[in-house]
Structure 1
């Protein structure tokens, strides 16, 4: 039996992957401690595992003996610690609590999960400090950057997985793989090369519910606004983003008439402004530049230009500042900010906007459901979602992809049986 603790447990995604991996080898598991401070996440955890996690890790001092530590620790900015210690120390961060527990209890192994940006934070110094500190505690350490889309999950989600074994460098056969940069690249590179059979990729269409509830349908008003752009063929929305400061496969607030209907010339002007304001000849600001009337005339010079500009200023699509013009590109609170392409993979789920991902299914425009979010993270349908959709969306957006965790741990268990002290694994598998 492997006893384990589940820190920063969230809704238990890492635990689920760990238990699945151990079950593959016939290994019984026992969770001796779970810790999470988000009360709504704790409610979901209890629904699925029958236990309500302990609270703040800072206040946990008594921990039963355990073999394995699991932690999807938050990536707190290390800037303050860096200013004080030159990244020679991790005190003041939540990672230090993991170090404290590892140092005190010396479990056989651990798995840590985090965002990919931790690897490059502060030019890599933060990550180097973390690895060095783990090694100084007596652990052999390795890490992987893996994309969920390579594990039969239709989501573009790259995460960092750090594994360690006490006194021994882990052997892993998995290799880091960042996958496709976005859903468009995934679709063009994989479908055209017919790689789906080889890798058994899943697509967004594979995780859709057949009869989603009426509450997930977009409002009639929003659908009418979309009709101004695409007519009644809503399936042409596949892969489109609703955003005001980008061109390409995007739909903008002025095209939908969010702040008021626009003429065809006003729409043409705004789209032209979006397409041209990033050009280097106007400057190097990342999100585009405020342009003078003279600069605007270099790409859009029509007889009624001043009237067009003033009308857009009056409606709130354009702002004037020191005789320069810039689109008003705030969050327009679209019901959907991105329509997923059913023949590709999803963008990365996040806790803040998983509830505003859309899909067109049978030419009906709707938001994806919490259950579909759960499937995009590889949770089985037996997993119970929080009864309040608001919390369910947030929790799945903030969770791990269960099959990736499972794959990492299977690899660790399979290739390090002697180091982990589970030499009976071969028999269990056979």
Structure 2
């Protein structure tokens, strides 16, 4: 099969790494890709949201399957674009329909879905510029801290957690009246704060059947001890040590199954990944959010643990026969450490040469924000590289990742040294 993978981050490099292991994959294109995908596949300079250019390319290259990495093309309706065009509707797209993608594209849609299908989630209400003062009054009914979420996509930056009531009111006005997050915050969801430990759960579904992928826990804050600004993710571990059989059974029966059943009941076409962000409060799983694709950097820690043929899994998704295939998981633990550009998640410089990549041993290097200039691999993003290692437990895996990070260098590189510390 000739496969087209959309995206340019660490998630896409990890997916590409897994796709090319399949005997079913004869050629892999990545649009637009990065320096890492360039070493194992063929990069093409097409934006994942330029649907007309993608149509021309898939016809020209006789593409057999499209795998969507990031959320933007899904929320914009790439699944429907292919389905509704007779020239390309025979090509399966791995990802949900535009309606299904609203689980991530609209916080309000997701909350309404959760409540409708009796899936545990925090109490909430949503507000617009016309009801901003009602929103301020609603804040007064809650206990701090206060959780404000931009309804639309804000590149992982649209959530504020504030301890001061007046500051929360000011930020609500900034989001709704001042358009702090642009069109993403034309509507804001205010949510009850839940105190617990977070966990990422991943599901692959054909809209009827599903497979539960390995759990992971990622670390969003830039600073050690979970301090500082939120990022796209500074590291991840899989499996999550505290996710025992009892908790996993609760997650599947109370959250995963009702989610997939809810999609069917609501007649929402969904053939792809569901990322379920959970918080565990006193041993009980509660949904914080849905994403409609794999997380990043969780993909870099989950994909290496999948031993099954990923292309075969995707074919089963496309044909709604996921119940007929077996999912095999590597029993070992994995730990991923992100290396980022100095200044990230705020302003940072690009174009620094990365040295030491050829010296990595017993770890996988997934490129997140890299490009090739004059034959050299250089930084091209905030999150630059993800170093993933296996071990008998996450501590052993983490040690290997840090040992290999010591061999790498670029100007102003930074990484957290305490990934997984809260799990000891």
Q: TM-score, normalised by structure 1?
A: 0.31
Greater fraction helix: 1
TM-score by structure 2 length? 0.31
Q: Going by fraction, where is strand more abundant, 1 or 2?
A: 2
